Amino acid sequence: MSPVVAAGEPAPEFTLKKEDGEPFTREDLADRTTVLVFYPTAFSSVCSDQFQIYEEVLEDFAAAGATLCGVSCDQNDSQVAFRESLGVTIEQLSDFEPKGAATKAFGAYFEPTGVSNRALVIIGPDQVVQWSWEGEHSGTLPGANLIFDALASP
């Protein structure tokens, strides 16, 4: 298993699928700060807590100039059902087919179980990784404070 991409590395080439079925690629990272929130599976209790916490302070993320996107190897419909069941608005990006290809490119794929590890990657407007975080195991949940710390760092 390769480690998640590190600060200073250029974002890899990748293709994810947006909720409307359109592709989301490296080009979509330009001119904005993006926080990719890799999570193992829709509807797990830990993932639920994670997105509801981030949703609570979504306006603060926007004020800090950051856009959050959830990424998992679930199919789009599952992600949307998950998002709606949580009452959250954070856009979901699917890495379902070819399974995990983008997640592997970011070094966030967990081979033993065939899902994404829990990881965060902040990518700047220059498409370079600003900061990344990877949990020791999928039950380790990064608080919103860690993202705000990273966004505030020069």
Partner 1 sequence: MTDLRSAPPPALRDDDHVRGPVDATLVTFYADFTCPRCALAHERLTRTGARVAFRHMALRAKHERAVPAACAAEAAAAQGAFWAFCDALYADQGRLDDPHLWAHARSLGLDVERFDADRRGDDLAARVQRDTREALAAGATTTPTLFAAGIVHPGVPDDGWLARLGYDGVVRLPKTSKEAGDAERRARPRSKENFI
**Sequence-distant (≥ 6) Cβ neighbours of residue 141 within 8 angstroms:** 46, 49, 50, 118, 135
Among 7, 33, 44, 53, binds partner 1 (CB under 8 A): 53
Packed helices 45-56 and 76-86: angle between N→C axes, nearest 10 degrees: 60
Q: Does 119 bind partner 1 (CB under 8 A)?
A: no
Coil, helix or strand at residue 27: helix
- Rounded to a whole number of angstroms, the minimum distance from the CB of residue 55 to partner 1 is 4
Among 87, 98, 112, 154, binds partner 1 (CB under 8 A): 87
* Cβ distance to partner 1 smaller for residue 48 or 127: 48
Q: Does 65 bind partner 1 (CB under 8 A)?
A: no
Q: Does 16 bind partner 1 (CB under 8 A)?
A: no
Q: Does 142 bind partner 1 (CB under 8 A)?
A: yes
